[in-house]
Amino acid sequence: MTTTTRGHDEPPSVALRTEALEQLLTERGLIDPKVMNGIITQYETTVGPLNGAKVVARAWTDPEYRHRLLEDGTAAIKELGFGGFQGEHIVAVANTPTTHHVVVCTLCSCYPWPVLGLPPSWYKDPAYRARVVREPRTVLSEMGLELDDEVQVVVHDSTSEVRWLVLPERPAGTEHLTEEELVPLVTRDAMVGVAKAAAP
């Protein structure tokens, strides 16, 4: 068994610092652990990619809803009960066999929280924010998404005024699946445009 010790000058891990801060705030009565756990659960399961996956699955199975989503994303998403802070002015764009959309926020980390949850660290990383605008096809390839040369890549820059949601292509072989069965195939990365929806 191997053990690793930190040097005196090495800072503690983020997880360790977070745990210490939570314990200190709890001891002083400033936070309630049950409330904190509820908030964390909400962002992991209720407010997050699962919501967006439900939006996408509905658009895949309901042509009229798909039309409304692409016409007015904010209103269509609100139909399913999702909205609020960071959910204002959402515009949905659909990937097709010839056009692939990908989202970035070059100046900050604007992100539609109600449908995608908290932004991943790579989305906020300066390298992603700078490079995906200049060389999107290369960045997508590095993230595991290979696109044919004839596919046009369109980069959308999210701002505090407009946040983008990518409607990924429905995977082949899913025609027999119900809306509920399609939901697990939709990932956060597919709705940002750095991946495709999962195959069944």
d(CA 110, CA 88) in angstroms, rounded, equals 11
- Asked if 101 contacts 166 with a C-beta cutoff of 8 angstroms, the reply is yes
- Asked if 73 contacts 55 with a C-beta cutoff of 8 angstroms, the reply is no
- Asked if 111 contacts 86 with a C-beta cutoff of 8 angstroms, the reply is yes
Does the active-site annotation cover 13? no
- Asked if 94 contacts 26 with a C-beta cutoff of 8 angstroms, the reply is no
* Residue 192, helix vs strand vs coil: helix
d(CA 121, CA 109) in angstroms, rounded, equals 10
Does the active-site annotation cover 108? yes
Q: Considering only CA atoms, give the Rg of the chain.
A: 19
Does the active-site annotation cover 121? no
d(CA 9, CA 197) in angstroms, rounded, equals 44
Residue among 13, 108, 141, 160 flagged as catalytic: 108
Does the active-site annotation cover 109? yes
d(CA 177, CA 92) in angstroms, rounded, equals 23
Q: Cα-flanking dihedrals φ and ψ of residue 95, to 5°?
A: -75, 145
Q: What residues are annotated to the active site?
A: 105, 108-110
